[in-house]
Amino acid sequence: MSSLQGYVDRRVLLILQDGRAIVGIMAGYDQKSNVVLSDSKERVYSPDEGVEEIPLGLYLVKGDMVVLIGEIDDALDAAVDLSTVRAEPIPPIRY
């Protein structure tokens, strides 16, 4: 069973079907990969500006919307100065 066990209470990056990227602490999940994130922030990427972080607080994301959940290595993440990162946003899912 490849579950989300092991991500609880960790800082995770959530990528959604519409291309949004949200970082937060995984508070809980269920069978359908519905996910609750606490202290979450959306990271908005743009090609001509640094990354903007928008605080969202406690978020429940429906499993249908989830593309990927990645565990963030805090040391690596702290080493990156987000204001210098220029990138296209992640494309949305196309079926």
Binding site for another protein (CB under 8 A): 1-4, 7, 13, 15, 17, 19, 21, 33, 43, 45, 63-64, 66-74, 76-77, 80, 85, 87-88, 90-95
Reading phi first (left if > 0) and then psi (alpha if -120 to 50, else beta), residue 90 is in beta
Contact 14, 22 (CB under 8 A): yes
Closest CB 70 distance from another protein, rounded Å = 3
> Minimum CB separation from another protein for residue 8, in Å?
12
Collapsed DSSP state (helix, strand, coil) of residue 78: helix
* For another protein, the closer CB: 58 or 74: 74
